[in-house]
Amino acid sequence: MKKVLVTGGAGFLGSHLCDRLVEAGHDVLCVDNFFTGSKANIQHLLARPNFELMRHDVTFPLYVEVDEIYNLACPASPVHYQHDPVQTTKTSVHGAINMLGLAKRVKARILQASTSEVYGDPEVHPQPESYWGKVNPIGIRSCYDEGKRCAETLFFDYWRQHQLQIKVMRIFNTYGPNMNPHDGRVVSNFIVQALQGQPITIYGDGSQTRSFCYVDDLIEGMVRLMASPPEFTGPVNIGNPHEFTMLELAQLVLKLTGSRSELKFEPLPSDDPRQRRPDISLARASLGWEPAVQLESGLNRTIDYFRRRIQA
Ligand code: NAD
Ligand code: UDP
């Protein structure tokens, strides 16, 4: 069994990863500053002898002894990462430097939760890992996109310069239980609005597309990537290749919740990518991974979660 550090472990994806690693018997250290994460997501793990929680901001150095590091710390919702953009860049860049420094000192294998946002508003569709992207360096999404791109650069430089064992995972839009109801991302917004009978807020005309991966599929891909042979560094896309417009998503959420909420069209935020769909050929070939959960079934599980949260 390994000693595993999960940064951002109290967040949406981090909490599912902690669950998975604790169940597998690993000694898990969850580090989080609770900017967007919550203790409620990992409350049930606190009594487990192989789980430990530490409040810490990854922009500051961390001295612990571990075998593996999953670096997930970073707000992922545009609303939250744009709230304090300087801190967002620091979290991605200083956070990567600190975690890579830690990995180098203790000779740990380290995985970076990168993002499809490194492709920006893509001109190549679907996006393969070989595509370098089309990113605005000075826009309102840049703190996140460029922060994550710089983190990828640091990972590959530590790999070339210090022979670190790195794994870079480009995560496409993921949804599921433990998302913060006030997170601001599209799936949580639409479900919460539908359950509360509030208008469904569609930005722009709703023709922009995303491809939504259920969290269990995503965590399976993440764990497989960490366990992959040392020479496999990625970057590798992990996401669901079924693409939907935001209007289609809204209609599906209305159908599955039985809600009569109306659609409300609001201005499209600047630099909002028009389309996004992963090419997952590399994940299929190198990790034997592909998603198993269809959108309707994953949305039903997520709707159940938000129903319980809203009633509580
Ligand atoms: P989230 O906001 O729910 O979780 C992020 C966690 O990091 C939170 O618990 C937050 O409190 C913590 N955090 C933020 N700044 C920190 C700091 N400076 N120090 C310590 N902890 C800090 O988001 P998520 O959806 O769980 O995303 C996890 C990771 O995956 C992020 O790095 C994100 O960029 C990446 N990612 C997620 C998606 C997605 O669709 N969920 C897509 C692409 C990439
Ligand atoms: N969006 C929307 N209504 C909302 C929230 C988001 O129409 O209430 C749109 C947003 O403009 C984007 C897509 O949904 O085109 C996905 O947004 P999200 O914030 O979930 O993630 P992104 O992929 O943009 O980072």
26 belongs to a structural domain: yes
Q: Which pLDDT score is estimated for 311?
A: 80
Cα separation, 187 vs 64, in Å, equals: 36
103 belongs to a structural domain: yes
* 109-136: pLDDT as tens digits: 999 999 999 999 999 999 999 999 999 9
Say yes or no to pLDDT of 312 above 80. no
38 belongs to a structural domain: yes
Residue with the smallest CA separation from ligand 1 atom 4 is 11
Say yes or no to pLDDT of 185 above 90. yes
138 belongs to a structural domain: yes
171 belongs to a structural domain: yes
> Residue 75's domain is classified under what CATH number?
3.40.50.720
186 belongs to a structural domain: no
Say yes or no to pLDDT of 151 above 80. yes
Long-range contacts of 248-254 (CB under 8 A, 24+ apart): 249/186, 249/187, 249/190, 249/210, 249/212, 250/190, 250/200, 250/202, 250/206, 252/295, 252/296, 252/299, 253/187, 253/190, 253/191, 253/194, 253/200, 253/299, 253/303, 254/194, 254/200
Q: Is 305 a catalytic residue?
A: no
Cα separation, 28 vs 106, in Å, equals: 16
- The predicted model gives 145-163 an average pLDDT of 98
**Which ligand 2 atom is nearest residue 193's CA?**
8
Measured from CB, residues less than 6 Å from any atom of ligand 1 are: 7-8, 10-14, 32-37, 57-59, 72-76, 91, 95, 113, 115, 171, 173-174
Of all ligands present, the nearest one to the C-alpha of 37 is 1
Q: Single out the residue of 184, 105, 179, 177 nearest to residue 144, CA to CA.
A: 184
Of all ligands present, the nearest one to the C-alpha of 185 is 2
How far is the centre of ligand 2, averaged over its atoms, from the C-alpha of 190 (Å)? 10
At 293, the amino acid letter reads V
- Average pLDDT, whole number, for the chain? 97
56 belongs to a structural domain: yes
Confidence of residue 289 (pLDDT cuts 50, 70, 90): very high
Say yes or no to pLDDT of 25 above 90. yes
Confidence of residue 310 (pLDDT cuts 50, 70, 90): confident
Structural domain for 13, as ranges = 3-175+214-241+277-292
Say yes or no to pLDDT of 216 above 90. yes
193 belongs to a structural domain: no
The catalytically annotated residue of 70, 119, 144, 214 is 144
Please state the domain count of the chain. Answer: 1
Say yes or no to pLDDT of 22 above 90. yes
